Structure 1
Amino acid sequence: MSDRKGPTPTWYQASAPQRTAAPPLYGRRQVDVCILGGGFTGLSCALSLAEAGLRVAVIEAEQIGAGASGRNGGQLIFGYSCEQHKLVDLLGKADARRVFQWSLEGVQLVHQRCADYAIDCHWRPGHAHVPIRPRQVDELKRWQDSLHHDYDYPLEWWSAERLQSVLASRRYRGALFDPRSGHLHPLRLLQGMTEAAIKLGVEVYECSRVTRVERAPRLRFHTIAGEIEAEFGVLAGNALVRGIAAELDARIMPVASYIAVSEPLGEGPARRLIGNDMAVADINWAVDYFRLTHDHRLFFGGRASYSTLPPPSLRGTMQARVRKVFPQLQDLRFDHVWGGLIDISLNRAPHWGRLQPNLYFAQGFSGHGLNTANLAGKVIAEAIRGQADRLDVFERIRHLPFPGGRLLRTPLLVAAMSWYKLRDALW
């Protein structure tokens, strides 16, 4: 998540090591592959290509971590933002199963990179999807059955009583628990990947916004002060890139999401809230999610805004949402509150592919990017090296533009999302 008016300081920035910024791009450079965007997609792609010996440059408009990759909820979870049955409709059962297995590879890829490059990103295992309404209990149990029988991915169903033995909240009717998913510090992960890429010879340029890309047999990425020529290019800017590729702009929408991190609670009080240190997310359309941090704070996210306009009192809104989950935290104070933009596709499925044979893109992570963005970078790197089988599958997912054109698509989306929020509130 990132704010187009300038990133709001985050707890991640306050709790991550300070790093020396990479220089801006000046003058002309030539590489094998030029990547627009220094988030998880871009850096994962850069690492995969550099490990194979290619010359790679990454151009970041702001600082590494200013976008969604350095500001998100930090939950590393299997799957994609869209439901698996939608992928069956789009791809058929066989390829939907393959795509699901690749999502698990995305989780493992993060762990492998942390091991290979000694990245400490405060990984904590355990994630619970929790229902509020009776219909959501049925929905989660059907999902559990499908994941077990159709995808060989068993999850644990917890009763409300078992959940309450580790979670100090009576809001939920049970939990679908996954011990293999969990949470981490995304900015520390991103910084570690950046350092690893630079050590492998990747040229990283910060504060270098790309103004245009010349599409030709040899691509040219232009900034105000420089230019990079490359045989291959990757567009990985997601919600913050506009005007570089109009055919991509129409197929994603920016949505604002918000996070609040409390004052330090102390280890004992924090553990009394979430005894097993898992991450938790409800399954409302406008999801709330929460966890503890390594320094014993409550981390709470949610309150999506499809108009991208923040609520009049964001801090008060987040405090009210926390009190619905933890009524005992009436006097909780937040040290950090921030918001930013995520990119969503119309069907919430990942949108990855090619604009021409040597120009690749990945977008549409729809708020589920920690595993999928890392996977996207690897899949695109494979395609650049001549192994495009996996990218070909993702490219078969049909993506329509948002209805309403430039002027009406945001009001139409706001109206549609209001219905889903009303349904969650009443049924």
Structure 2
Amino acid sequence: MEHVNSYYAASANRHEPWPQLTGDIRCDVCVVGGGYTGLSTALFLTEAGFDVVLLEAGRIGFGASGRNGGQMVNSYSRDIDVIEARYGHDTARMLGSMMFEGGDIIRDRIEQYGIRCDYRPGGIFAALNRRQLHELEHQKANWERYGHRQLEWLDEPRIREEVGSGRYVGGLLDHWSGHIHPLNLALGEAEAIRQGGGRIFEQSAVTHIQYGDPAVAVTAGGRVSARFMVLAGNAYLGNLEPRLSARAMPCGTQIVTTEPLGEERARELIRSLYCVEDCNYLLDYYRITGDFRLLYGGGVVYGARDPDDIDRLVLPKLLKTFPGLEGVKIDYRWTGNFLLTLSRLPQFGRLEPNVYYMHGYSGHGVTCTHLAGRLLSEVLKGQAERFDAFARLPHLPFFGGRRFQVPFTAMGAVYYSLRDKLGV
């Protein structure tokens, strides 16, 4: 499997490919999945002196990690007040202490390994109505309770200075957010693993796992026997492990990228080149790329089906936000899958005493995946407290089981989309 025909694939840094697995090998840790979860895990463990093998079914960054909107959004898909109400103060305190850590890890990786991925700081949450503005006020207070002070309130005049659109009534600027070229970040992290002695194999889909000590990952060309195994395939794990696929649902999102606009015109759209996402349930997100294109995404396809016409789904949203771009040429369009959980919180845990999994970031994966890798490395070094704070969260099945999870979830989305349109 090769990378999809996206802007990211077309502008990826030059790199040497990784080989396909042939033969039988042994290692300390076998990581299944070459996206951010697997890369972060493998890099932390390689740095800690573990002998690590990473298996990727396609190319590094083939899935969501090489296709997403590139926005480094802090926290989780459920905010800390919801976590506290559902799971109690102690759980909220533990998860809250980690909710800004993933972005720090990414910035540290970029600096430490010299990764060229067009990093730019700053991200705006843009409110379309007064209800959303009130929710942002609540979010700001929640984040400040947990020590995040790099937040700036944007009233209506201020957000119109930053975003050249008349849609928004205000917003919240997170100076400790930002955006990156996601595929180049993934490729840079993979190269760091290689430099540290980790072994990476592409085009090496795992077809079967033999649980035991050691755990064995079987591919078409070979086998990896490991003291520990980490399943990090997320929305692209397929049915390799039914115990995981029954409790999370792949969903598709669509992105388009315009022709180069030039810096002057790009700054008319987003003056300071921050990334932006609105506050709708089915939100739109956009940013200016390193070569001054507008990258715009939005919409959800439940069940991860590829839509027939991406332009039809995304362009009306883009032009509603920026009417002045009527007639702009779209150079790239693609879709990618993320993994949704019923709670909208990530699912971490153990399938066997020596087999771990981390997935289900529900649209907030760029930063949380990097946190996940650090937590798993802590577990294998004997410190499981932070990992277990996530592992203790209930991993609930979708209503109706796998057969009806798509229609039931889509019905819920219709309800919330109506709320967005009515502003209630």
TM-score between the two structures when normalised by the length of structure 1: 0.96
Deviations 1:119-173 (A, max 9, x none): 121111111101112211111112222222x322232211110111121101000
Distance 2:236 2:317 in 1: 28
Question: What residue in structure 1 maps to residue 134 of structure 2?
Answer: 138
Instruction: Percent identity, please.
Output: 39
**Corresponding position: 1:332 with 2:328:** yes
Q: Tell whether the 8 Å contact from 1:319 to 1:332 is kept in structure 2 after alignment.
A: no
Specify every segment of 5 or more residues in structure 1 that has no aligned partner in the other structure, as ranges. Answer: none
Taking the TM superposition and a 5 Å limit, the aligned residue runs for 1:266-277 are: 266-277=262-273
Q: Which runs of 4+ in 1 moved over 6 A?
A: none
Shift of 1:395: 0.8
Distance 1:101 1:334 in 2: 41
**Corresponding position: 1:152 with 2:180:** no
Q: Tell whether the 8 Å contact from 1:345 to 1:366 is kept in structure 2 after alignment.
A: yes
Which residue of 364, 379, 382 corresponds with 1:386? Answer: 382
Other structure's SS at 1:66 match: coil
Aligned length: 422
Distance 2:30 2:304 in 1: 30
Shift of 1:90: 4.1
Quick one: which amino acid aligns to residue 112 of structure 2? D
**Corresponding position: 1:11 with 2:14:** no
Q: Tell whether the 8 Å contact from 1:261 to 1:297 is kept in structure 2 after alignment.
A: yes
Other structure's SS at 2:99 match: helix
Question: What residue in structure 2 maps to residue 196 of structure 1?
Answer: 192
Q: Tell whether the 8 Å contact from 1:38 to 1:64 is kept in structure 2 after alignment.
A: yes
**Corresponding position: 1:45 with 2:41:** yes
Question: What residue in structure 1 maps to residue 121 of structure 2?
Answer: 125
Question: What residue in structure 2 maps to residue 180 of structure 1?
Answer: 176
Q: Tell whether the 8 Å contact from 1:48 to 1:378 is kept in structure 2 after alignment.
A: yes
Distance 1:82 1:291 in 2: 23
Quick one: which amino acid aligns to residue 185 of structure 2? L
**Corresponding position: 1:242 with 2:238:** yes
Distance 2:229 2:294 in 1: 40
Quick one: which amino acid aligns to residue 271 of structure 2? G
Quick one: which amino acid aligns to residue 117 of structure 1? Y
The 1:17/1:7 distance shift into structure 2, 3 A limit, reads closer
Question: What residue in structure 2 maps to residue 70 of structure 1?
Answer: 66
Distance 1:361 1:317 in 2: 33
Q: Tell whether the 8 Å contact from 2:123 to 2:173 is kept in structure 1 after alignment.
A: yes
Shift of 1:391: 0.8
Q: Tell whether the 8 Å contact from 2:31 to 2:229 is kept in structure 1 after alignment.
A: yes
Which residue of 199, 206, 219 corresponds with 2:202? Answer: 206
Shift of 1:89: 3.0
**Corresponding position: 1:420 with 2:422:** no
Shift of 1:6: 7.1
Q: Tell whether the 8 Å contact from 1:307 to 1:411 is kept in structure 2 after alignment.
A: no
**Corresponding position: 1:34 with 2:43:** no
Q: Tell whether the 8 Å contact from 1:78 to 1:104 is kept in structure 2 after alignment.
A: yes
Specify every segment of 5 or more residues in structure 2 that has no aligned partner in the other structure, as ranges. Answer: none
Deviations 1:336-357 (A, max 9, x none): 0000111011110010111121
Q: Tell whether the 8 Å contact from 2:80 to 2:142 is kept in structure 1 after alignment.
A: no
Taking the TM superposition and a 5 Å limit, the aligned residue runs for 1:209-288 are: 209-288=205-284
CA RMSD of aligned residues (A): 1.4
Q: Tell whether the 8 Å contact from 1:90 to 1:397 is kept in structure 2 after alignment.
A: no
Q: Tell whether the 8 Å contact from 1:128 to 1:281 is kept in structure 2 after alignment.
A: yes
Quick one: which amino acid aligns to residue 233 of structure 2? G
Other structure's SS at 2:98 match: helix
Quick one: which amino acid aligns to residue 153 of structure 1? H
Q: Tell whether the 8 Å contact from 1:84 to 1:96 is kept in structure 2 after alignment.
A: yes
Shift of 1:317: 2.7
Distance 1:114 1:134 in 2: 38
Other structure's SS at 2:273 match: coil
The 1:365/1:318 distance shift into structure 2, 3 A limit, reads same
TM-score between the two structures when normalised by the length of structure 2: 0.97
Shift of 1:49: 1.0
Shift of 1:373: 0.2
Other structure's SS at 2:34 match: coil
Shift of 1:243: 2.4
Quick one: which amino acid aligns to residue 344 of structure 1? L
Deviations 1:35-60 (A, max 9, x none): 00011111111111111111100000
Shift of 1:291: 0.8
Quick one: which amino acid aligns to residue 146 of structure 2? Y
The 1:410/1:316 distance shift into structure 2, 3 A limit, reads closer
Q: Tell whether the 8 Å contact from 2:350 to 2:357 is kept in structure 1 after alignment.
A: yes
Distance 1:317 1:354 in 2: 39
Q: Tell whether the 8 Å contact from 2:124 to 2:277 is kept in structure 1 after alignment.
A: yes
Quick one: which amino acid aligns to residue 363 of structure 1? H
Quick one: which amino acid aligns to residue 299 of structure 1? L
Distance 1:291 1:57 in 2: 35
Distance 1:74 1:202 in 2: 26
